[in-house]
Amino acid sequence: MAVCMAGGEKEVSILASMLRMVFKKDTGKEIEVGEMTIERQCDREFIIPFEEKIRQYEAVISIACGVGVQFLSETLGDMVVVPGLNTRFLGSNEGEGIWSERCRACGDCVLGDTGGICPITICAKGLLNGPCGGTNKGKCEVDKDKDCAWTLIYQRLEKLGALDNIRKIFPPKNYNAQTHPSRIIHEAYQKEEEK
């Protein structure tokens, strides 16, 4: 179901077709692109029935929101999951009546480079380029009960065989470009004068 008009069966089919065409055009070779729609990537119970089939591939391009990409990355653990869109705002639930922020919807996603873990949201200081000097035994200096985001990122990148990513330097984010609360109207629903 494409509740957010980004990741339903139609959108998955279009993306897969585009990937096949571009790969054929650029390399002259065919590529196998599997297509699958998971109703809710932000809930593990929707992912687990598909896990065996997903693991038949080398990587996953997720056109879910940033929460879905992170949950899928976490569930698959040692498999590359790449975001196929740039999330703007979201939330996730951990259980009945409990929600947790997983993505700040900064509009400049780094999940593909950080093993599917958002340093802006998960790090108490929002550090984009590695841990502060206060991490102790994998815990955050701001909240001793909280895991250090950069320890989690390091561990995930190690599982993925992508520790070189830890050396990437990301440019500062332009937070002046954000407004809150965010609101987006899909172009198909905009009035003619708003377009």
Q: What is the pLDDT of residues 81-127, one digit of tens each?
A: 999 988 766 667 777 767 778 888 787 889 999 999 999 999 999 99
Residue 177: per-residue pLDDT: 63
Find residue 147's DSSP bridge partners: 139
Return d(Cα 140, Cα 4) in angstroms, integer.
Answer: 34
Coil, strand or helix at 45: helix
**Number of domains present in the structure of the chain:** 1
Yes or no: say if 85 and 63 are a contact pair by the CB < 8 Å rule.
yes
Q: Residue 73, class by beta-carbon neighbours within 10 Å (0-12 exposed, 13-18 middle, 19+ buried)? A: buried
Length of the chain: 195
pLDDT given at position 194: 60
Res 6: pLDDT? 64
Judged against a pLDDT cut of 70, whether residue 3 lies above it is answered with no
Q: Which residues on adjacent β-strands are paired with residue 61?
A: 82
What is the rounded CA–CA span in Å between residue 106 and residue 195?
Answer: 24
Per-residue pLDDT tens digits for 9-44: 888 999 999 999 999 999 999 999 999 998 888 888
pLDDT at 46 over 50: yes
Q: CA torsion 150→71→110→128, rounded to 10°?
A: -30
What pLDDT score does 185 carry?
78
**Domain-embedded: residue 16:** no
- Note whether residue 17 is domain-resident: no
Phi, psi (5° rounding) for residue 144? -60, -15
- Any domain includes 133: yes
Chain position carrying tokens 């699958």: 36
Range of the domain at 76: 38-168
- 23 lies in some domain: no
User: Is 25 within the bounds of a domain?
Assistant: no
Q: Which amino acid is at 62?
A: S
Q: Per the domain annotation, does 103 fall within a domain? A: yes
Question: What are the tokens at 134?
Answer: 């206060």
Q: pLDDT tens digits for 161-184? A: 999 999 999 998 877 766 665 677
pLDDT(188) > 90? no
Q: Which of 3-17, 52-66, 118-132 has the lowest mean pLDDT?
A: 3-17
Q: Which residue has the higher pLDDT, 167 or 188?
A: 167
- For residues 166 and 163, what is the distance between their CA atoms, to the nearest angstrom? 6
Is 155 within a domain? yes
What percent helix, strand, coil does the chain show, rounded to 5?
A: 35, 10, 55
97: left (phi over 0), alpha (psi -120 to 50) or beta: left
In a domain, 1, yes or no: no
How far apart CA 71 and CA 92 sit, in angstroms, is 10
Q: According to the model, what pLDDT value does residue 1 have? A: 42
